[in-house]
Amino acid sequence: MYDGLGMLLCIYLVVIVTAVSDYKQSLQFKDLDKEKKNIIVQVTRDGSRQKVSIYDIVVGDVVHLSVGDQVPAAGVFLSGYSLSVDESSLSGESEPMNVHQDTPFLLSGTKVQDGYGKMLATTVGMRTEWGRLMVTLSEGGEDETPLQLKLNGVETIIGKIGLAFAVLTFLALTARLVVEKSLHNKIMDWSGSDALEVLNYFTIAVTILVVAVPEGLPLAVTLSLAFAMKKLMSDKALVRHLSACETMGCAGCICTYKTGTLTTNDMVVKKIWICQKSIEIYNRNNEDVLKTSVSESVFDVRLQSIFLNTSSEVVEGKDSKKNIIGTPTKTALMDFGLLLGGDFNTYRINYMISRVEPFNTVKKKMSVLVALPARGQFRAFCEGASEIVLEMCDKIVNADGEAIILSRERRKDITDVINGFSGEALRTLCLAFKDIEGASHMDSIPDNGYTFIAVIGINDPVHPGVKEAVKTCLAAGITVRMVTGDNIHTAKAIAKECGILTEDGLAIERPDFRNKSPEEMKELIPKPQVMA
């Protein structure tokens, strides 16, 4: 009775512990999945632009789409520039689809690869193609952890060895009984007690087999992984699969993005260099200095560049307060324009945008072609990564608003300013413009002959606690590396602030790394702490 009861209790304990652990995980991850899928999108509804949850989109909403967004509902293209969508998740086609007035349909679940635009939501939820596809798919079963797979192998080997010994023991005991009976000339004389003896031998063999297979081993492993998972969760690390507890224990290197991970992604303009002057925006009350430091024409062209060359909007909330909706970098620039006293709507009414080339990670710049109030006059504005915009310029505006030749010395001065801003952990952007006559027939916005306006330094403060977290990782023997699309000087300054970049550490730019031969890469790969 004790043996049977003991086995039953053991099996019951294994099943209950595993079931309770899995149930708790599934409850936590149900909530997490819901939160993860709860993407906030920008829509125009009731005549005003607002942020809503992807779950709250209804037919008739005008959805604003930009690079990297997931199309939240099926709909029709209304307006936009260079909008291309990756439909590979639905059609399997790797080439992006260009969306315009002739091919206006956008499918839910696809990703915006380039450009930006507005779409009218026509189908939502499970009625979309994506929704129907999701209904047909069921979640696959969970895989076992590497440790559990290895233990299953060990169990199999032990089971085979146990089986072999059990069979040998049974055969040996039965052979001994047969030999004893033959020695006493009773080989043909078999009774009920002999049958019980053989049955006893069989029981011994089965006992050997049962004892050989380690019943408690899977329980011990499941319990230890469940405790590890609980410990990780108390450290604010959400774990879905038990195997993550093992994998994280083996981690030797963490690659982290900068913006929004190490930094708060709450950007604000901190410094501006314009007309050979560097001005620090130390509080919200020094706009007079910003206005009087340059001539009126330079001041106006700076505001034109900020308000016209942007994908952001200034909207009035229900409390009549002005809110800026857009990416953090664009929001920081728009906020700076409003600080200077500019009016976003006035500039948008007076100047007509005729062509836009949106920002993407390859070009690292955004350009816009604007029709000026004077008939037949056009002006192109460009804003983006400092090195790229500076390379496009051959003139610079002086304090009187005149365009003068951008000499080698002046170019070197601007480069020094950019490096100086970057050394102060500021993200740098450059603004430039170009006057064009009769540009309505042009197929694209020009890439050269621009006049340089200003260098803008944007501050993105580091999250509190990042330095301590990096120290903890380093103490545990884990190398932390930072990967960012920023200028190398900005990246190095922030990496030093976080404690990632050491004195003998290596910071490298992606093109330099890419141009290395496979042999050089193999030698270089363990060394970089920053890739910019």
Name the percent of the chain in helix, strand, coil, to the closest 5.
45, 25, 30
CB 69 within 8 A of CB 112: yes
Distance between CA atoms of residues 475 and 468, nearest Å:
10
| 524 or 151, higher pLDDT | 524
Distance between CA atoms of residues 425 and 495, nearest Å:
9
pLDDT, tens digit (0-9, with 9 covering 90-100), for 510-520: 889 989 999 99
Residue type for 433, please? F
Strand partners, 316: 322
pLDDT, tens digit (0-9, with 9 covering 90-100), for 263-308: 887 888 989 999 888 888 866 555 666 677 788 888 889 999 999 9
Residue 484 — left, alpha, or beta (φ > 0 → left; ψ -120 to 50 → alpha)?
A: beta
- Which pairing describes strands 450-459 and 479-483: parallel, antiparallel, or unpaired? unpaired
Which of 209-213, 316-320, 456-460 shows the lowest mean pLDDT across its residues? 316-320
pTM confidence score: 0.63
In order, the DSSP letters of 162-201 are HHHHHHHHHHHHHHHHHHHHHHTT-TT---HHHHHHHHHH
pLDDT, tens digit (0-9, with 9 covering 90-100), for 470-503: 999 999 999 999 998 888 888 999 999 999 998 8
CB 404 within 8 A of CB 344: no
Closest by alpha carbon to 260, among 483, 506, 418, 55? 483
pLDDT, tens digit (0-9, with 9 covering 90-100), for 328-386: 888 889 888 888 888 888 888 888 888 888 887 778 889 999 988 877 788 999 999 99
3-state secondary structure of 326: coil
User: What pLDDT is recorded for position 283?
Assistant: 62
| 283 or 403, higher pLDDT | 403
Percent of the chain with pLDDT over 90: 28
- Which pairing describes strands 393-397 and 450-459: parallel, antiparallel, or unpaired? parallel
In order, the DSSP letters of 222-234 are HHHHHHHHHHHHH
- Which pairing describes strands 450-459 and 426-437: parallel, antiparallel, or unpaired? antiparallel
pLDDT surpasses 60 at 138? no
Distance between CA atoms of residues 61 and 78, nearest Å:
12
